[in-house]
Amino acid sequence: MSKVAIVTDSNSGITQNEAKDNLFVLPMPFIIDGQDFYEDINLTQKEFYEKLKSDVRISTSQPSFGEVTALWDKVLKDYDEIVYIPMSSGLSESCNSSKRYVEEGYNGKVFVVDNQRISITMKASVYEALDLANQGKSAEEIKNYLEETKMQSSIYIMVPSLKYLKKGGRVTPTAAALASLLSIKPILQIQGDKLDSYAKVMNLTQAKSKMIGAIKKDLEERFADLKSQGKMSLCIAHTDNEELANKFKEDVKAQFPDIEFTCCDPLSLSVACHIGPGALAIAVTRYKA
């Protein structure tokens, strides 16, 4: 039986300290005022938000060929196969780049998964992969499973301001100014490889109600069979807003007492870079193979 390692990147929200045994995390790079930083290596959550709030220029990047393959080479000294789970190909080129890297001598050793997730839903798929590896499944079997179940998750994100979406060119300055004038808070959704607008609300209370309603609808319709099998879980996430997230967690637990609650985590910095601080998110995702 092959020894299988799971490798992901820090877009999953899994920290370097949480990476142990057969789990490895590649830190994502950021360029801040022309300098290179790596998530959870020389850039903490606190430092990132301090820089973001001071309006310095921050951009995301993807790991280089050398950075990715150096980690693969290190892992393959002790393991026979790797399941590599990068962020969704619809949100970054890193997944497609990694598939090309496999052709440089890693065929049959590294299996790149495009299960079209990011942050807390991506984290759930990483831990599913770990469970399957520990059950003795091959890297190819794990890859196939994660891609077959990739759409079995939803995430909804309340963005308090369009300021950072405007900076990233994802909304026009006019739309951002109008939203600010009317105190509109957009709710975004990620399902598969798309980041889409889901709803617009006027305050936090409406936002929480709208997101809980969206999750309830998903559980009653898209994921009804999985819910009845006890295979769905809930997660809360935030950008530099832990107190609000913990309060929301209690509201969500009260609304869904029969659904497993698995985490209340910060959103990954690559997401935070584009939506800014103060965001609140809820996700429902499959978490049992």
DSSP assignment letter at 12: G
Neighbours of 90 (CB within 10 A): 15
As given in the structure block, the two tokens for residue 241 are: 């807003």
Please say whether the beta carbons of 280 and 186 come within 8 A: no
Burial degree of 238 (CB within 10 A; 0-12, 13-18, 19+): buried
Which pLDDT belongs to residue 222?
95
Residue 262 has pLDDT above 80, yes or no: yes
Mean pLDDT of 95-119: 91
Q: 21 is written with which tokens?
A: 């045994």
* pLDDT at residue 66 is higher than 90: yes
Indicate the domain borders of the chain: 4-28+63-148, 153-286
Tell me what pLDDT residue 41 has. 92
Q: What is the mean pLDDT of residues 48-71?
A: 91
For residue 194, the model assigns a pLDDT of: 67
- Provide the CATH number for the domain formed by 4-28+63-148 in this structure: 3.40.50.10440
Contact 161, 289 (CB under 8 A): no
Can you name the CATH fold of 153-286? Hypothetical Protein Tm841; Chain: A;domain 3 (3.30.1180)
CA distance linking residue 212 with residue 110, whole number of Å: 38
Confidence of residue 95 (pLDDT cuts 50, 70, 90): confident
Kindly tell me the number of DSSP H helices and DSSP E strands found in the chain.
11, 13
The Cα–Cα gap between 200 and 198 comes to: 7
Q: 118 near 193, Cβ under 8 Å?
A: no
pLDDT at res. 180? 46
pLDDT digits over 115-155, tens only? 888 889 999 999 999 999 999 999 999 999 999 999 999 99
pLDDT for res 183: 56
Residue 228 pLDDT: 95
168 pLDDT tier (thresholds 50, 70, 90): very low
CA–CA separation, 96 and 105 (whole Å): 16
What would the mean pLDDT of 66-75 be, rounded to a whole number?
96
